[in-house]
Structure 1
Amino acid sequence: MNGERSAEHQPVTIRDARESDLQAITDIYNQAVVAGGSTADLVPRTLEQRRQWVDSHQPRDRYPVVVLEDASGRVVAFGSLSKFHPREAYDGVVELSYYVDERARHRRYGTAMVAWLLDAARTRGYRIATALIFASNAGSIALMNHFGFERYGFLPRACFDGTRYLDMSYWWLPLDND
């Protein structure tokens, strides 16, 4: 499922990730690792580790990994739908995640990516979308609220980043596929 969405009145393309996108995916993810507050990884990931992460999304037609290209064709964000839990009874629930290049933030690329991921989840017949977000990540929490997600859980002091404890918030959105 590929498509175009508008972000800040500029055409963007959201498409399936390719091998040639791995470096951009790794770079964008590692920005989040270094900055903290968006991922529980504490050490930047290698290209091979990110390749394994992309490859773990199987089958790909159910669990896509996609990139968002800006109007110039540069990859500025990526996102995915991931298995919520390995037990079969959870197959109707999917977890979404997304990361935006720090130089491309505040241009509605995150909004475009989450909209695409939610459309993809509905098209694939998922009942519920979930997201795990650090409670201090105001931008992602605002985005969840924008799309109508509700917080269903809060785990205080869930992660230690080497200097501080971070609380985790859990979000869900019914996808009205029943």
Structure 2
Amino acid sequence: MSSERTEVQVRPGVEADLGALTDIYNHYVRETPVTFDTAVFTPEERRPWLLSHPEDGPHRLMVAVDADSQRILGYATSSEFRPRPAYATSVAMTVYVAPGAGGRGIGTRLYTALFDALAGEDLHRAYAGIAQPNEASVRLHERFGFRYLGTYREAGRKFGRYWDVARYEKDL
């Protein structure tokens, strides 16, 4: 039975997802420059992050699950853009797909559900930073109407080299 034929459901993330979400994120910490975190997290260390994304409001967490196995295939968030009050109508967007689940439209499903959930919120702009190179993420964000703003050159050092970060924005 091919896992690529299973149905994918998207729902808000819940506390019971914390272990699987931490595992997905830690994969990107260990194996890729996608996140500039350099040390893996325990689920307890990630709990404040999860709790900062309730089921309502502008900061949300959506999770894609395999309908048969209930395995988490990825997640997307809208998070605080900056901590100052004037930034309250802006959000930072992220999407992470589980290892082996890429190429199945998981990111598209997650962003579709997340932007639908945010439609009634008092939001003006969404922002994304994409460590380069990452053509799949660039295509996903452009498909959702994000516009390229510019690139921070050699903004972070990981795995013994410097990485650029392309910045994108979307009107909400």
Give the one of 46, 60, 63 matched to 1:64. 60
Q: How far apart are residue 82 of structure 1 and its match? A: 0.4
Deviation by residue 1:113-167 (Cα, 9 ceiling, x = unmatched): 1122222222213111111111211110111111121111210000000311000
Give the one of 38, 42, 49 matched to 1:46. 42
Q: How far apart are residue 85 of structure 1 and its match? A: 1.3
Deviation by residue 1:60-106 (Cα, 9 ceiling, x = unmatched): 53311221112322211112110111222211111111111011111
TM-score norm. by structure 1 comes to: 0.86
Check 1:21–1:58 CA distance in 2 against 1; reply closer, same or farther (3 A cut).
closer
For structure 2, the residue ranges without an aligned partner over 5 or more in a row are none
Contact 2:62–2:113 (CA under 8 A) maintained in structure 1: no
Task: Read off the aligned partner of 2:41 and give its amino acid letter.
Answer: R
- Cα RMSD (Å): 1.8
Contact 2:92–2:128 (CA under 8 A) maintained in structure 1: yes
Q: Does 1:78 align with 2:75?
A: yes
Task: Read off the aligned partner of 1:83 and give its amino acid letter.
Answer: E
Sequence identity of aligned pairs in percent? 34
Give the one of 11, 14, 24 matched to 2:20. 24
Match of 1:99 in 2: 96
Q: How far apart are residue 58 of structure 1 and its match? A: 6.1
Residues matched between the structures, number: 168
Contact 2:75–2:95 (CA under 8 A) maintained in structure 1: yes
Alignment of 1:68-147 (within 5 A): 68-72=64-68, 73-147=70-144
Check 1:77–1:87 CA distance in 2 against 1; reply closer, same or farther (3 A cut).
same
TM-score norm. by structure 2 comes to: 0.89
